[in-house]
Structure 1
C-alpha cells in the first residue's frame, strides 16, 4: 500500500470516528493539531482533514 492509499484510509477512519463519536469530533474541531499528531499521515492528509472539519462545521 502506498502512502496515498494509507492516507486515504486514515482520513476515512478519522472522519467516520468524528461522525460517530461526539467527544472525538469536538476535540477535532477545537484542537485538530492534538488529534492529528497521533496519526501517521502526510501534511497533505492533515490539511484535507482540517478542511473537511471546517466545511462540516460552517453554518
Structure 2
C-alpha cells in the first residue's frame, strides 16, 4: 500500500515537472509574441490592450 502510494506520488511529481516545463515553453513563446507586437507597433499597427491581455493569460 505504501509503495503504491509512493510510486503514484512520484508519477504525479513527474507530471508536475512536465507541465512546468510546458509552461516555461509557452512563456518563451509569449515573449516572442510580445516582441512581435512591439515590432508591429513600431510599424504603426497599434495592438489593442485586449490582444495583449489575451497573450498574457495564455
TM-score, length-normalised on structure 1?
Answer: 0.38
Q: Which has the larger radius of gyration?
A: 2
TM-score, length-normalised on structure 2?
Answer: 0.38
